[in-house]
Amino acid sequence: MRLGRAALWVFCGLVGCWLVAPALIVLPLSLTNQASLVFPPRGWSVRWYANFFTDSTWIGAFWTSVQVALLVTVVATAVGTAAAVGLTRTRGRALLVANGLILSPMIVPGIVFAIGSYATFLSLHLVGTLGGFVMAHTVLALPFVVLPVAARLRGFDRRLELASASLGAGRWATFQQVTLPLVAPGVLAGALFAFVTSFDEVVVSLFIQSPYLQTLPVKMYSSVSRDTDPTIAAAASMIIVLTTALVLVATYLTARRSRAR
Amino acid sequence: MPASGAAADLAGARALARTGGEITLEHLTKRYADATAIDDVSLDIRPGEFMTLLGPSGSGKTTTLNAIAGFVTPTSGRLLMDGTEVGSAVGGVPPHRRDIGMVFQHYALFPHMTVEQNIAFPLRQRKVARDRRAELVTAALDTVRLSGFGRRYPHELSGGQQQRVAVARSIVYRPRVLLMDEPLGALDKKLRDWLQLEIKRIHAELGTTFVYVTHDQDEALVLSDRVAVFNGGRIEQVGTPDELYERPSTLFVARFVGDSTVLRGPATAAGSGGSGPGGSTLGKCGRTLRAPGALSGAGALVVRPERLSVHARGAEPDGADWNTLPAVVERAIYLGSSRKLELRLPDGEPALVRELAGRLADVRPGDQVTLAWRVADSVLLPDDPDVEAAVT
How are beta strands B100-103 and B177-181 bridged, if at all?
Answer: parallel
- Estimate the crossing angle of helix A47-54 against helix A56-88, to 10 degrees: 80
A6 within some domain: no
Residue A8 within a domain: no
> Is 80 exceeded by the pLDDT of residue A223?
yes
- As a whole number of angstroms, the distance between CA A120 and CA A148 comes to 30
Residues A44 and A68 in one domain: no
Residue A117 counted as domain residue: yes
Shared domain for A88 and A117, answered yes or no, is: yes
Q: Are residues A48 and A131 in the same domain?
A: no
Cα–Cα distance, A134 to A75 (Å, whole number): 9
- Residue A168, domain member (yes or no): yes
Amino acid identity for residue B53 in this structure: L
Beta strands B378-382 and B297-303 are antiparallel
Same domain, A191 and A83: yes
DSSP characters over B136-162: HHHHHHHHTT-TT-TTS-GGGS-HHHH
For the stretch B82-108, pLDDT in tens is 989 998 988 889 999 998 999 999 999
Same domain, A179 and A95: yes
Whether residues A96 and A119 fall in one domain = yes
Establish if A242 belongs to a structural domain: yes
Residues A38-71 have pLDDT tens digits of 778 788 888 889 988 898 888 999 999 999 999 9
Q: Which residues of B are less than 8 Å from A170 in CB distance?
A: 94, 96
* Selected residues 139-198 of chain B with any CB under 8 Å from a CB in chain A: 153, 155, 169-170, 173, 179
**Count of structural domains, chain A:** 2
Q: What is the largest CA-CA distance in chain A?
A: 71
Which domains occur in chain B, in start order? Answer: 3-246 (3.40.50.300), 251-391 (2.40.50.100)
pLDDT beyond 80 at B63? yes
User: What does the pLDDT look like over A151-160, one tens digit per residue?
Assistant: 999 989 989 9
Ordered strands of the B76-81 beta sheet: B36-45, B23-31, B76-81, B84-88, B91-92
Helix (H, G, I), strand (E, B) or coil at A86: helix
Whether residues A124 and A30 fall in one domain = no
Q: Is B272 exposed, middle or buried (0-12, 13-18, 19+ CB in 10 A)?
A: exposed
Confidence of residue B276 (pLDDT cuts 50, 70, 90): very low
Contacts A157 to B, Cβ<8 Å: 108
Residue type, A225: S
Identity of the amino acid at A109: P
Whether A145 and A247 map to the same domain: the answer is: no
Three-state SS at B207: coil
Q: What is the pLDDT of chain B when averaged over all its residues? A: 89
| Residue A234 shares a structural domain with residue A222 | no
> Residue B70 and residue A178: Cβ atoms within 8 Å?
no
Q: Mark whether A200 and A252 lie in a shared domain.
A: no
Q: Which strand (E) or helix (H) includes residue B92?
A: strand B91-92
Q: Angle at Cα A23 formed by Cα A19 and Cα A24, nearest 5°?
A: 100
- Please indicate, yes or no, if residue A18 is contained in any of the structural domains: no
Question: Is pLDDT above 60 for B264?
Answer: yes
Of B71, B126, B153, the CB nearest to A168: B126
Partners of A90 in beta bridges: none
Of the candidates A73, A56, A33, A63, the residue with the CA atom closest to the CA atom of residue A233: A33
B142-168 mean pLDDT: 92
pLDDT tens-digit map of B330-365 = 999 999 899 999 999 999 999 999 999 888 888 889
Q: Tell me, yes or no, whether A86 lies in a domain.
A: yes
What is the separation of C-alpha A256 from the centre of its chain, rounded to a whole number of angstroms? 22
What ipTM goes with this model? 0.80
* Residue A78 and residue A100 in one domain: yes
Same domain, A166 and A244: no
Chain A and chain B share a number of CB contacts under 8 A equal to 69
Which pLDDT value is given to residue A246? 81
Give this prediction's pTM: 0.81
Q: Residue A200 sits in which domain range?
A: 60-226
Amino acid at B284: K
Domain assignment present for residue A216? The answer is: yes
A194 pLDDT above the threshold of 60: yes
CATH at A169: 1.10.3720.10
pLDDT of residue A258: 55
Q: Which residues of B touch A168 (CB under 8 A)?
A: 96-97, 122, 125-126, 173
Average pLDDT in the B141-147 region?
90
